[in-house]
Structure 1
Amino acid sequence: MTVPSVKDAKVAGKRVLVRVDFNVPMNDGKVVSDTRIIETLPTIALLLKRKATVILVSHLGRPDGKVDPKYSMAPVAKRLEHYLARKAHLLPDFWQKKAADYVKKLPKNSLVLCENVRYHIGEEHNDPKFAKSLADLAEVYVNDAFGTAHRAHASTVGVTNYLPSYAGLLMEKEVHMIGKAITKPRRPLLVIIGGGKTPEKISVIDRLLEIADTIYLGGAIANTFFATWGISVGVSRVDHEMIEMARAVLWKATRVHAQLILPSDVLVSNSNQQTKPFVLPYNQVPGSLGIFDIGPASIKELQGLITGSKTIIWNGPMGMYEDERFIEGTKATLRAIANGHAESVVGGGDTISMIKEKELVGKISHISTGGGAMLEYLEKGTLPGIEALKNGHKK
């Protein structure tokens, strides 16, 4: 899939509204991790180099349509100033006419950061009036927030009805790398799905059974499939409402080329994880215990699958990685992918947050900034934000 690129946009001397994903982790009013800010810097730098006035817009947390200082973009503005060595004008009440007037009077080539776009209730409702107020700030629109492209919001979809629209460099890379992995993969193609969000992921698994050579399941979603088979998972997290959908996926797996594989052994403890973890076969988990990671035999099997693959898509951890005792399945998966030779696409908020070893990060072909967006793109091959760019580009 191709999208209209910011590289082709005529932006010199113009005001450019850029949707970014600065939904960064915060603690005590300070940015804890600025990875998402860093990822958008190439697009911002390109626009500034081409003498555009850049107006950034993002959400942060869930203020539910109300102004809440806890979710202010002010700490993000400071971090931007650090990286770009220029003032970032923080714009409150950006939906009001006075904000548009203010931006128009700024010197050319200025940098502006709107306050939290979710301070206005019209954002998540894709309100046309609110979308028009965003468009009034600028003359060109760029979307560089792949992580929110699955949301049909005013700043991702509605605004494209009023401005010529383009994909930023990060968005363009995401679309290319994920699209290539599902449309033109080097085979064998291995898909590894872990974590929770069972309803979203079951739909993706169903779709990828038609594309992948092997799908390996871990994490909470594997528990749901075990339960579908009537296998006891004790106090493990199971999405019981998804049992019927999982059964349909298992039926489909018997009729397609792809293999669907579940862990052969698991790491267990009691419900509050006070019992010292130990390994059991997948079908011998007693009612008083729960599954919190894949076991050593499963790790070895998954490592073998990774070594034998030429394209790998991974979304979601193999266990409760927040606890060091249950992180080995996820870490081993990461190490095997990073040290292998396959083209790799890794995504999902939980997966990304545990990738702290920089030498491993550099060995992964593409780390997606989208969790839910990546899943939906894998399933449907497009996203509302991507389709909006195509339509907006025609203006």
Structure 2
Amino acid sequence: MSEKSFATLDDLFAHGDITGKRVLMRADLNVPVRDGAVSDATRIERVVPTIRELTGKGAIVILLSHFGRPKGERNLEFSLKAVAPAVADQSGLEVTFADDCVGDAASSVIASAKPGSVVLLENTRFHKGETNNDGAFADQLAAVGDAYVNDAFSAAHRAHASTQAIAKRLPAYAGRAMEAELTALEGALAKPEKPVVAIVGGAKISTKLDLLGNLVSRVDYLVIGGGMANTFLAAQGIDVKKSLCEHDLGDTAREILAKAEAAGCQVLLPRDVVVAQEFKAMAPCKTVPATEVPDGHMILDVGSDTIADLAARFEAAKTVVWNGPLGAFEIAPFDNGTNAAARHVAMLTKMGELNSVAGGGDTVAALNNAGAADDFSYVSTAGGAFLEWLEGKTLPGVDALSRS
């Protein structure tokens, strides 16, 4: 049996032989499809280990997933049928498709499935009961299964029938991708090795108030970068000139700084910045102290002194949590600060000096741009669920798996 706060496949296997058992597995197969074929199979690749482990032990794996936003109506534009060949290709297993996720269309296909086979059920969001977290709909889903496995962390922040209600109706376990994600997140914030450095970047603090509020009470150093750093600089009376800045949130920024000071968290803002008169690729730019932005200029990246300071903080740390870029990483040369910091964290992680966990859409893109993602301890592709976890919110799909 596992020692984790949630049940895993090891717990399922500990209960005995699962040959012929029907395992309802929640995956996130909401993948991009172009011209009738899956164009990016990353999310499928992540759940393949769980599918193969279960089928390898003789289980009948019944895949549940949403796909797009059909709004509770049967709309073949959002059919998962187009995804079935990609699941078969990635897993190396034959995948049978059922035209519905409940009722005779589902049960008849499942009844004829053999041990070690895979059945993909139609889009759960074809039924209003899915997004309503309806108990009767969850009963219908659960009726065809002996056990439930959730391997869709990216959908765990939704209180839906296939992520929450169903877990109350069957023995529920985390799949291997879910287990890896939760283990990484617990190691980064719930039970981290200190000191902990959190990097929060991006354009606006208005989108990350809950995140900042939670982190200042959990980490030792909070690095603020990107456009949101300008709001904090302005809140301290620094003229950021043409820079992206939410001047109306000055009071909020000062409240966060006060809360951080009370919690013993040191907030690190840019010491020096890279400025330009316009935001375009290879625009003429220069590095100046953060307090001396010239007229007509905007802040687009952190400067070399800030990068050096961050490198020293990383070297003294044991855990780094990263969400958001330090500058306008999309175009050179304003990707330099993010790239340099990311590569330094990656190097220390590879040396075994650091546990590094990152996530969020722009973050994944920024780390890939820096060529650093593969050397981080864990990079989450979950987006909203990752952010809500960092904000300290309870995720319904995770809570449903926790040991009671």
Question: TM bucket by the smaller chain?
Answer: 0.7 to 0.9
The farther-off stretch of 360-369 and 49-58 is 360-369
- Does 1:137 pair with 2:137? no
Letter in 1 for 2:379: I
The match for 2:258 is: 251
The match for 2:305 is: 297
Query: Is the 8 Å Cα contact of residues 97 and 133 (structure 1) preserved in structure 2?
Result: no
The match for 1:113 is: 120
- Does 1:351 pair with 2:369? no
The farther-off stretch of 116-125 and 331-340 is 116-125
- Give the CA deviation at 1:165: 0.8
- Does 1:189 pair with 2:196? yes
1:380 partner SS: coil
Letter in 1 for 2:153: F
Cα deviation, 1:299-337, whole Å, max 9, x if unaligned, reads 222222222211111122223333344322222222111
The match for 1:309 is: 317
Structure with higher Rg: it is: 2
Q: Which runs of 5 or more structure 1 residues have no equivalent in the other structure?
A: none
The match for 2:270 is: 263
Cα 1:76–1:356 shift into 2, 3 Å: farther
Letter in 2 for 1:146: F
Report matched runs for 1:6-155 at 5 Å.
6-9=9-12, 10=15, 11-69=18-76, 71-155=78-162
- Give the CA deviation at 1:274: 7.0
Letter in 2 for 1:388: A
RMSD across aligned C-alpha pairs, in angstroms? 3.0
Query: Is the 8 Å Cα contact of residues 143 and 168 (structure 1) preserved in structure 2?
Result: yes
- Give the CA deviation at 1:159: 1.4
Query: Is the 8 Å Cα contact of residues 263 and 282 (structure 1) preserved in structure 2?
Result: yes
Query: Is the 8 Å Cα contact of residues 29 and 70 (structure 1) preserved in structure 2?
Result: no
Aligned partners of 1:232, 1:378: CA distance in 2, in Å?
A: 31
- Does 1:222 pair with 2:205? no
Query: Is the 8 Å Cα contact of residues 64 and 101 (structure 2) preserved in structure 1?
Result: no
2:10 partner SS: helix
Letter in 1 for 2:301: D
The match for 2:8 is: 5
Letter in 2 for 1:83: Q
Cα deviation, 1:38-66, whole Å, max 9, x if unaligned, reads 22121111111111111122234444444
Query: Is the 8 Å Cα contact of residues 146 and 369 (structure 1) preserved in structure 2?
Result: no
The match for 1:335 is: 343
Query: Is the 8 Å Cα contact of residues 222 and 268 (structure 2) preserved in structure 1?
Result: yes
Aligned partners of 2:277, 2:82: CA distance in 1, in Å?
A: 41
The match for 2:384 is: 372
Aligned partners of 2:300, 2:125: CA distance in 1, in Å?
A: 35
The match for 1:388 is: 400
Query: Is the 8 Å Cα contact of residues 17 and 142 (structure 1) preserved in structure 2?
Result: yes
Flag the structure with more relative contact order, 1 or 2, with Cα contacts below 8 A and sequence separation at least 6. 1
The farther-off stretch of 161-170 and 264-273 is 264-273
Letter in 2 for 1:330: T
**Percent identity of the aligned residues?**
39
- Give the CA deviation at 1:112: 1.9
- Give the CA deviation at 1:191: 0.9
Query: Is the 8 Å Cα contact of residues 346 and 367 (structure 1) preserved in structure 2?
Result: yes
1:260 partner SS: strand
- Does 1:176 pair with 2:183? yes
Aligned partners of 1:282, 1:303: CA distance in 2, in Å?
A: 18
- Give the CA deviation at 1:273: 3.3
- Residue of structure 2 aligned with 1:159, choices 156, 166, 170: 166
Aligned partners of 1:12, 1:159: CA distance in 2, in Å?
A: 22
Q: Which runs of 5 or more structure 2 residues have no equivalent in the other structure?
A: none
Query: Is the 8 Å Cα contact of residues 98 and 105 (structure 2) preserved in structure 1?
Result: no
- Give the CA deviation at 1:200: 5.5
- Give the CA deviation at 1:389: 1.6
Aligned partners of 1:200, 1:342: CA distance in 2, in Å?
A: 28
Aligned partners of 1:14, 1:72: CA distance in 2, in Å?
A: 26
- Give the CA deviation at 1:190: 0.9
Aligned partners of 1:377, 1:219: CA distance in 2, in Å?
A: 22
- Give the CA deviation at 1:71: 4.2
- Give the CA deviation at 1:242: 5.1
Aligned partners of 1:358, 1:80: CA distance in 2, in Å?
A: 30
Cα deviation, 1:205-224, whole Å, max 9, x if unaligned, reads 22222221111011233233
- Give the CA deviation at 1:289: 4.8
Aligned residues: 392
Q: TM-score, normalised by structure 2?
A: 0.85
2:30 partner SS: coil
Query: Is the 8 Å Cα contact of residues 101 and 123 (structure 2) preserved in structure 1?
Result: no
Cα 1:333–1:6 shift into 2, 3 Å: same
Letter in 2 for 1:261: L
Query: Is the 8 Å Cα contact of residues 106 and 121 (structure 2) preserved in structure 1?
Result: no
